[in-house]
């Protein structure tokens, strides 16, 4: 069994991961709307990744005999200024998620909950990768600037991203 504090914090994180999924699904929808199918694919893969993060936490809470409590999901933004704006918002969001994961790790240490501490290490590593991916795409979008051909080339590349379920990584 998890402590009540730990259980509530993990339940809150499930909600945050589902909000992340919702945010990226909204970015995928907007990318499709403005004709950038590769960006739409990239954000759709990100949506699936976030749902898999939520489910990893969901299974962990369940596996400890605790109650998963689902909460209301906030409405994400639906309109964005540009592809760069979407990725800058993605990075800013991921930085927040990284801070939340670090808080969860701190709580696991406080509660002397070693199992949850080990479980959370996967998320710590995942956040490094997510921020690094976002930084790379932001740098490329800045280089592209107003060059439409450059943007279409990046769109083509982002179309190749495929979802790999965490268990198969
Ligand atoms: Fe689930 Fe993007 O962190």
Q: What is the pTM of this model?
A: 0.96
Q: From CA 32, how far away is CA 122, in angstroms rounded? A: 31
* Span from the CA of 127 to the centroid of ligand 1 (angstroms): 7
Q: Which of these, 56, 76, 67, lies nearest to 116 by C-alpha position?
A: 56
Q: From CA 154, how far away is CA 151, in angstroms rounded? A: 5
Output the six-digit token pair for 41: 């694919």
- Ligand 1 pocket: which residues have CB below 6 Å? 17, 20, 50, 53, 94, 97, 130
What is the per-residue pLDDT across 20-77, written as a single tens digit (0 to 9) for each? 999 999 999 999 999 999 999 999 999 999 999 999 999 999 999 999 999 999 999 9
Q: Is residue 40 a contact partner of residue 46, using CB atoms and an 8 Å limit?
A: no
Across the range 77-102, mean pLDDT stands at 98
63-71, Cβ contacts within 8 angstroms, sequence gap of 24 or more: 64/1, 64/2, 64/7, 65/1, 66/1, 66/2, 66/7, 67/7, 68/11, 68/14, 69/11, 70/14, 70/15, 71/11, 71/12, 71/15
For 70, what's the count of Cα atoms within 13 Å in the CB-facing half-sphere?
7
Q: From CA 26, how far away is CA 74, in angstroms rounded? A: 12
Q: Which atom of ligand 1 is nearest to the CA of 46?
A: 2
DSSP for residue 168: G
Q: Which domains does the chain have, with CATH numbers?
A: 4-158 (1.20.1260.10)
168 pLDDT band, cuts 50/70/90, is: low
Q: Which atom of ligand 1 is nearest to the CA of 16?
A: 1
């Amino acid at each position: 069994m998890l402590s009540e504090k730990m259980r509530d914090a993990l339940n809150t994180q499930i909600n945050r991961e589902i909000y992340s999924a919702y945010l990226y699904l909204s970015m995928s929808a907007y990318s499709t709307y403005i004709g950038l199918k590769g960006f739409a694919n990239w954000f759709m893969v990100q949506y699936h990744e976030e749902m898999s993060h939520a489910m990893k936490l969901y299974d962990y809470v369940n596996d400890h005999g605790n109650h998963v409590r689902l909460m209301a999901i906030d409405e994400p933004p639906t309109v964005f200024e540009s592809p760069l704006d979407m990725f800058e918002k993605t990075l800013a969001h991921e930085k927040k998620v990284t801070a939340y994961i670090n808080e969860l790790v701190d709580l696991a240490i406080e509660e002397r909950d070693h199992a949850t501490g080990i479980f959370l290490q996967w998320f710590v590593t995942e956040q490094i990768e997510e921020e690094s991916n976002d930084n790379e795409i932001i740098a490329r979008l800045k280089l592209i600037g107003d060059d439409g051909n450059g943007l279409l080339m990046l769109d083509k590349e982002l179309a190749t991203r495929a979802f790999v379920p965490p268990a198969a990584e």
